[in-house]
Structure 1
Amino acid sequence: MTRLTPEELEAARGLQLPDVAGDGLRVLFCGINPGLMSAATGHHFARPGNRFWPVLHLSGFTPRQLKPSEQEELLSYGLGITNVVARTTARADELSPAEYREGGRLLTEKVARLKPAWLAVVGVTAYRSAFGEPRARIGPQERTIGGSRVWALPNPSGLNAHWSTAAMAEEYARLRDASADPA
């Protein structure tokens, strides 16, 4: 991976990162918002240290660990990626409560249109903020969006020290099993 300068990363602020999505996915993973590295490279979860790609593989969603640059391969597995908030920032704590609420509203519209079987929000705090559910816990949620079920997953950021990679993979595997069940 090419090293980006601080100036190149800062120039990524305000860039839009297109979704990797399509109609009728098995799982639409939803990050909080694009980071500078992701916006600069054009690839979701691109920051070194982010555990999304290793966890996706360890949980059995993908047969091998994909690189961020291979994100389009997710579609062949019935998987996709979007974000709660489109605005690129260096850190998620730069987002306002209003941005989360508006992101939840826009995400609801997107999910109703795309109709994935599951929406998986990677970050329970982001889920709580976007959908006004302060008591939500990791795991399946009571909320549905159209016919789509909702699951809150641990945030794969390397900054989330509360979850080991192995424990995170176990939680993602629970979703993988649920998403494979036609019921």
Structure 2
Amino acid sequence: MTRPTPAELEAARDRVVEDVVADGLSVLFCGINPGLMSGATGHHFARPGNRFWPVLHLSGFTPRRLLPSEQRELLDYGLGITNVVARTTARADEVSDEEFREGGRLLAAKVERLEPRWLAVVGVTAYRTAFGERAARIGPQERTIGGARVWVLPNPSGLNAHWTAQTMAEEFAELRKAAGRPRGPSSP
């Protein structure tokens, strides 16, 4: 994949990256909102420093590390990806609290329609704002949406220095176990 130019990245502002979803998923991962690299490529978690794809593999959700361009393969594992806010921005702080709250309402309707067993929101601050859960912490939540249980995971952005890929993978693995997903066959 050729890296987008600065002009191509700027042109990707406010685009929407298509969800990778199906009915009845085991886990629907939910990002905060897509970045410009995702908008330019059409692939979720596309920025090279984002740790989503390595952590997904390290945690045992996938048998190998997928590339962002292979995102549709997640459906084969009963997994999907959406976002709290659909539009692309350079930084998550460009999204207003009202936009997060509206995104939470739209996400709840999507989850009720798709009926995943688990909704995994990657980013505790986005979850708190979108759902008005100011005391939420990383891990399983009391809240359910439709029939889906909710788990908040650490934000895999390279800017989130509080979590290493290994400690994130441990948290993702806890969700994998709770969701009853077997460890990927060639995962370490």
Q: Please classify the TM superposition score into its range, dividing by the shorter chain length.
A: over 0.9
Cα deviation, residue 68, structure 1: 0.2
In the other structure, the counterpart of 2:167 is 167
In the other structure, the counterpart of 2:154 is 154
Deviation digits for residues 118-165 of structure 1 (CA, Å, limit 9, x no counterpart): 000000111001000010000000000111000000000000000011
- Which structure 1 residue ranges, 4+ long, deviate > 3 Å from structure 2? none
In the other structure, the counterpart of 1:44 is 44
> 5+ unaligned residues in a row in structure 1: which ranges?
none
Corresponding residue SS for 1:29: strand
> 5+ unaligned residues in a row in structure 2: which ranges?
182-188
Instruction: State the number of aligned residues.
Output: 181
Cα deviation, residue 4, structure 1: 1.4
In the other structure, the counterpart of 2:142 is 142
CA distance in structure 2 between the partners assigned to 1:168 and 1:150 by the alignment: 17
CA distance in structure 1 between the partners assigned to 2:136 and 2:15 by the alignment: 31
Deviation digits for residues 81-132 of structure 1 (CA, Å, limit 9, x no counterpart): 0000011100000000000000000000000000000000000111001000
In the other structure, the counterpart of 2:77 is 77
Q: CA RMSD in A?
A: 0.7
Which AA in structure 2 matches 1:143? Answer: R
In the other structure, the counterpart of 2:23 is 23
CA distance in structure 2 between the partners assigned to 1:99 and 1:66 by the alignment: 30
Which AA in structure 2 matches 1:162? Answer: H
CA distance in structure 2 between the partners assigned to 1:99 and 1:16 by the alignment: 14
In the other structure, the counterpart of 2:86 is 86
Which AA in structure 2 matches 1:51? Answer: R
State the TM-score, normalized to the length of structure 2. 0.95
- Identity over aligned pairs, percent: 78
In the other structure, the counterpart of 2:180 is 180
Corresponding residue SS for 2:170: helix
In the other structure, the counterpart of 1:67 is 67
Corresponding residue SS for 2:16: coil
In the other structure, the counterpart of 1:4 is 4
CA distance in structure 1 between the partners assigned to 2:23 and 2:35 by the alignment: 25
Cα deviation, residue 169, structure 1: 0.2
